[in-house]
Structure 1
Amino acid sequence: MKRLTGWLRGGLAATMLVATLAEADTTLINASSNINQDLFQEYNAAFVRYWRGKTGEAVTIKQTHAQSTNQVARIRNGEEADVVTLAVSLDIDTIASAGLMPTDWQGRLANHSSPFTSTVVFLVRRGNPRQIKDWNDLVRWGINVVTSNPKSSGIARWGHLAAYGYALRQPGGNDTTAKLFLKRLYGNNRVLEYTARGATTAFTKNKIGDVMVTWESEAMQVVAAAPDEYEIVVPSMSIVAEPPVAMVDKMVDKRGTRKLADAYLHYLYSPEAQEMLVKYNYRPADPALAEKYAKRFKPLTLFRVDEVFGSWQSAFKAHFTDGGVLDQVYDPYRNAS
């Protein structure tokens, strides 16, 4: 009887182990930024269908959303995530610096591990009553600019660097003139929202400001929801915003999800997924689809972070650390008045 009981216990333990392993093999965790919540909800459903059709396996995608910087802190502190889909490559570099993935992670997927891109544009009220046409108009006296805080918001960092790069590339432009331009720009801002969505709420629901600086995808979403209230102004020059994706190697090896995580990220480059990305107003990585939807996205002069700032690491150190350019040009006391 004791032998039978021991056998039953052993069998039960083995069954529980198999069940645990099976769950690990069929559950994927994606830690994403707030701005892409709707996108990945639809993408996850599409990937589940794709994976079942290809392998016959059912898979569950667990999705978490937060500010990119918050996601990084959680993962570094041990929170589980098989893949990350964030706003800025520097955030993933920070995860890599903790030994959770290779430091050359960005070379593992096409287009610097960015399956889609956006850029920084201006959202104005319908009819453009303040006649905002380019970056120079944002520093005119009396213009009220809405944006989020580059200290906490990845999208705001893209906007900050876009403005600086524009000023730097003007005739006679240099670091001094670019800083002065930013000082005037932030001088026209009365509050920096903590999140990009917070900035959108301030501009659309609270009716604060004349113009909002944001991603093209976010601006297009607002206009689609309220075409009689808002319109988009595309500046003459802006930055290529490259939201990165990556696999967290240490976590996928621990959970046994490497194959699934790899497939999940590669599927973002598939024609079906690229079409979906266009639906959410992102510029696709697929050249054929980019040509197909060329009229949807207005052309403009674009520059990449590494072309102007060397790298995201260099840009962050110079602009967003304590005492950096942002602290030099933004006066929270003056702007709160």
Structure 2
Amino acid sequence: MVRLIASVSALAVSLTLAAAPAQAEDSREILNTSYDIARELFAAVNPKFIDWWEAEQGETVSVKQSHGGSSTQARSIMQGLRADVVTFNQVTDVNVLAEAGLVADDWQAQYPNNASPYYSTTAFLVRKGNPKNIEGWDDLAADGVELVFPNPKTSGNGRYTYLAAWGYADRTFDGDEAQIEDFMKTFLGNVEVFDTGGRGATTTFVERGIGDVLITFESEVNNIRNEYGVDDYEVVVPPVSILAEFPVAVVEDYAERNGNLDLARGYLDYLYTVEAQRLLAGFNYRVNDQNVAAEFSDRFPQAELLRVEDIFGSWPQAMETHFSSGAKLDQLQRR
């Protein structure tokens, strides 16, 4: 296990108490550390979990949230942020915690669907009337198209965008490396702003009015459109995109020390219940419960979702080849 730093300063996280009734002083509280754009989701999930736990166990508990870029959150936990559970948007950010001895090595086998209770894909948000006629990935590399999405160096969301674009190019150019890299150079050259996380990218596009296309999770683009005006924005789901899993795990080392191991496991169990699956689908996430998926099928256009493992071999290979210092991403961005 890596040596844990005793104090944590200048953490790039925001801590907010989940909406819940006032708790007794001796009631237990868990900390869920999550990705940047999940604030509203877990603000809705947590009160439902609290009610479910009380009905199941007869105990009143509370939940605290921490949000930030998925990789930033993982580093914060390794530096001492005593999270009981993680609900991330990228497998590698859980794997680094497993390598540090904070999460079980077999964490993906502990819950169904590779410990991903819900999933999504990468989609586009465009302004009213879709003035640049954006329909797929090739349109994002056209002249005069300005893109906004999170920085792949700091955001799992951004890495999915990069990998989805590469996967499309790999399919389109039949694996021709030179043509793939030419496409990616143009695509990355059209990025107007690289924010550190998904919520920052949303702010840049919606509130600052920068860019023609916001690229983020399908769930996020639909939630933005619903919040900021269905008549002002349009959602484009490309016919070929990436499977974005949302892995969850108990931070066993901390949860046990916090006296919350059973509560932490129960929290993740709850995400697989029919009630939680409906709630997740209501926030425009795709779910694996077939009955719930059928109820919400009109929200999710058919798309071919490419697996990272099928295109890049594995997540560790993708990280080493594309996102390590001096790797493909850095090479492609050199002017």
Q: How high is the TM-score relative to the length of structure 1?
A: 0.89
Among 209, 212, 217, the residue aligned to 1:210? 212
1:325 maps onto 2:318 in alignment:
no
Report the 3-state secondary structure (helix = DSSP H, G, I; strand = E; otherwise coil) of the residue aligned with 1:163: helix
Q: State which drifts further: 60-69 or 237-246.
A: 60-69
Q: Hey, what's the Cα distance between the residues in 2 that align with 1:214 and 1:34?
A: 12
Q: How does 1:198-237 map to 2 (within 5 A)?
A: 198-225=200-227, 226-237=229-240
Partner of 2:292: 289
Partner of 1:155: 157
Higher helix share: 1
Q: How does 1:16-165 map to 2 (within 5 A)?
A: 26-165=28-167
Q: Hey, what's the Cα distance between the residues in 1 that align with 2:46 and 2:60?
A: 12
For structure 2, the 5+ residue unaligned runs are 1-23
Q: Verify the 8 A CA contact 1:155 1:214 in the aligned structure 2.
A: yes
- After superposition, give the CA deviation of every residue in 1:192-237 in whole Å (9 maximum; x if it has no partner): 1122111111111111111111110110011112111100111110
For structure 1, the 5+ residue unaligned runs are 1-21
Q: Hey, what's the Cα distance between the residues in 1 that align with 2:260 and 2:27?
A: 6
Q: Verify the 8 A CA contact 1:24 1:257 in the aligned structure 2.
A: no
Report the 3-state secondary structure (helix = DSSP H, G, I; strand = E; otherwise coil) of the residue aligned with 1:295: helix
- After superposition, give the CA deviation of every residue in 1:141-172 in whole Å (9 maximum; x if it has no partner): 11111111101111010000000001101143
Q: Hey, what's the Cα distance between the residues in 1 that align with 2:174 and 2:44?
A: 47
Aligned structure 1 segments of 4 or more residues deviating by more than 3 angstroms = 22-25
Q: Verify the 8 A CA contact 2:173 2:179 in the aligned structure 1.
A: no
Partner of 2:19: none
Q: Hey, what's the Cα distance between the residues in 2 that align with 1:24 and 1:261?
A: 17
Report the 3-state secondary structure (helix = DSSP H, G, I; strand = E; otherwise coil) of the residue aligned with 1:251: helix
- After superposition, give the CA deviation of every residue in 1:300-334 in whole Å (9 maximum; x if it has no partner): 11111111112111111111111111101113xx5
Q: Verify the 8 A CA contact 1:146 1:212 in the aligned structure 2.
A: yes
CA RMSD of aligned residues (A): 1.5
Report the 3-state secondary structure (helix = DSSP H, G, I; strand = E; otherwise coil) of the residue aligned with 1:34: coil
**Equivalent position amino acid for 2:94 in 1:** I
> Residues 258 and 229 of structure 1: is their aligned pair in 2 closer, same or farther, counting only changes over 3 Å?
same
Q: Verify the 8 A CA contact 1:24 1:255 in the aligned structure 2.
A: no
Matched residue count: 311
Among 148, 172, 175, the residue aligned to 2:174? 172
- After superposition, give the CA deviation of every residue in 1:20-79 in whole Å (9 maximum; x if it has no partner): xx9787221111112111111111100100111111111111211122122111211222
Q: Verify the 8 A CA contact 2:168 2:240 in the aligned structure 1.
A: yes
Q: Verify the 8 A CA contact 2:125 2:236 in the aligned structure 1.
A: yes
Report the 3-state secondary structure (helix = DSSP H, G, I; strand = E; otherwise coil) of the residue aligned with 2:172: coil
Among 240, 249, 252, the residue aligned to 2:252? 249
> Residues 24 and 73 of structure 1: is their aligned pair in 2 closer, same or farther, counting only changes over 3 Å?
farther
Q: Verify the 8 A CA contact 2:27 2:60 in the aligned structure 1.
A: no
**Equivalent position amino acid for 1:114 in 2:** S
> Residues 24 and 152 of structure 1: is their aligned pair in 2 closer, same or farther, counting only changes over 3 Å?
farther
Q: Give identity over the alignment, percent.
A: 42
> Residues 171 and 70 of structure 1: is their aligned pair in 2 closer, same or farther, counting only changes over 3 Å?
closer
